[in-house]
């Protein structure tokens, strides 16, 4: 294997002992290891080099590992209009594993979340599998963004839709929702039309103009006849008026997300 065929592994961790551990574990003629200690250095390296794998610590001196990961995913997404980039495989490591961080990291498509001290054999096998293309990774759970100004409705959505198949995040208005789309990349949006600051119609228009191709279900206090007219050219998958049938909403979500999964797998 010549130098051009080597796989580049970027390791972001400011703990020298962990750097030594990785160097001893992954030293191979097939890999070239690059060590950095700050989040900004990660982003700079990813921009300049064709990195094949990132091993990323949750805590870095200048920014969190999650912030680094969000920026990398955003960069990939922003470049799609120019060049088709594969999603960079990321293994996250931490000495202080927390469930909420693990869940968000998984939503951002990491390969694995490892607690320190990391098992040497596990890391070596994981890296080999990822770089050879034989590792399938974590099956990414679908993320639903629910937009409604009422806290009780937000709580209801989290309670009845969150579970083993879907994760749910909420926003109170269109501005918050656009921010969530930018940084969380949801698979489906459920939105009310009556929203403060930026209403649902304006939110959906902005979403369409930005080129986001995220399926949308409207669940609104605005009647279907009136509301459907307002959103008829905005690519809505389903319109439900409040009070709605929960089973109908669940069925619509399942159909839309399953269809999206089939299309993306082709």
Neighbours of 209 (CB within 10 A): 8
Average pLDDT over residues 64-73: 94
Neighbours of 69 (CB within 10 A): 23
Domain ranges of the chain: 3-132, 142-265
Q: For the sheet containing 216-220, what is the strand order?
A: 166-171, 142-147, 188-191, 216-220, 238-241
Beta carbons of 14 and 22 less than 8 angstroms apart: no
Length of the chain: 266
Residue 259: is its pLDDT beyond 90?
Answer: no
Give the CATH number of domain 142-265; options: 3.40.50.2300, 3.30.70.640, 2.30.30.90, 3.40.50.300: 3.40.50.2300
Question: Locate tokens 């990660």: which residue?
Answer: 42
What is the reported pLDDT for 72?
Answer: 92
The overall longest dimension of the chain from CA atoms, in Å, is 66
Average pLDDT over residues 222-241: 88
Residue 3: is its pLDDT beyond 80?
Answer: no
Band of pLDDT at residue 84, cut at 50, 70 and 90:
low
**Residues 157, 131: Cα–Cα separation, whole Å:** 39
Could you report the per-residue pLDDT of 120-135, keeping only the tens digit for each?
999 999 999 999 887 7
What is the reported pLDDT for 76?
Answer: 82
Query: pTM of the full predicted structure?
Result: 0.59
**Residues 210, 200: Cα–Cα separation, whole Å:** 15
What is the reported pLDDT for 245?
Answer: 92
Give the CATH number of domain 3-132; options: 3.40.109.10, 3.40.50.1100, 3.40.50.2300, 3.40.1160.10: 3.40.50.2300
Residue 1: is its pLDDT beyond 50?
Answer: no
What is the reported pLDDT for 261?
Answer: 53
| Fold match, 3-132 / 142-265 | yes
Bond from prior residue into 117 cis (ω within 30 degrees of 0) = yes
Could you report the per-residue pLDDT of 10-36, keeping only the tens digit for each?
999 999 999 999 999 998 889 999 999
Structure tokens that stand for 185 in this block: 């990349």
What is the reported pLDDT for 134?
Answer: 78
E strand map for the chain: 7-12, 31-36, 53-57, 90-94, 112-115, 142-147, 166-171, 188-191, 216-220, 238-241
Beta carbons of 153 and 127 less than 8 angstroms apart: no
Nearest to 147 by CA among 187, 195, 81: 195
């Amino acid at each position: 294997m010549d130098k051009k065929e080597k796989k580049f592994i970027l390791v972001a961790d400011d703990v020298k002992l962990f750097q030594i551990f990785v160097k001893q574990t992954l030293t191979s003629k097939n890999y070239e290891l690059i060590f950095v200690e700050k989040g900004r250095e990660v982003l700079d390296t990813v921009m300049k080099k064709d990195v094949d794998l990132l091993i990323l610590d949750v805590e870095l001196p200048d920014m969190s590992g999650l912030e680094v990961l969000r920026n990398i995913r955003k960069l990939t997404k922003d470049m799609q209009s120019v060049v088709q980039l594969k999603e960079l495989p990321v293994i996250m490591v931490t000495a202080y594993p927390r469930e909420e961080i693990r869940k968000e990291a998984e939503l951002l498509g990491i390969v694995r979340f490892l607690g320190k001290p990391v098992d040497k054999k596990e890391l070596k096998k994981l890296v080999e599998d990822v770089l050879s293309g034989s590792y399938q990774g974590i099956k990414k759970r679908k993320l639903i963004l629910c937009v409604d100004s009422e806290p009780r409705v937000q709580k209801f959505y989290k309670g009845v839709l969150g579970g083993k198949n879907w994760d749910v995040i909420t926003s109170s208005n269109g501005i918050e929702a656009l921010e969530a789309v930018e940084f969380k990349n949801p698979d489906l949006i459920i939105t009310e039309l009556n929203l403060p600051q930026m209403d649902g119609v304006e939110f959906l228009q902005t979403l369409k103009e930005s080129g986001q191709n995220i399926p949308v279900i409207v669940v609104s206090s605005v009647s279907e006849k009136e509301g459907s007219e307002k959103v008829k050219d905005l690519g809505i998958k389903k319109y439900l008026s409040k009070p709605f049938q929960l089973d109908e909403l669940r069925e619509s979500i399942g159909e839309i997300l399953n269809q999206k999964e089939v299309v993306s797998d082709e």
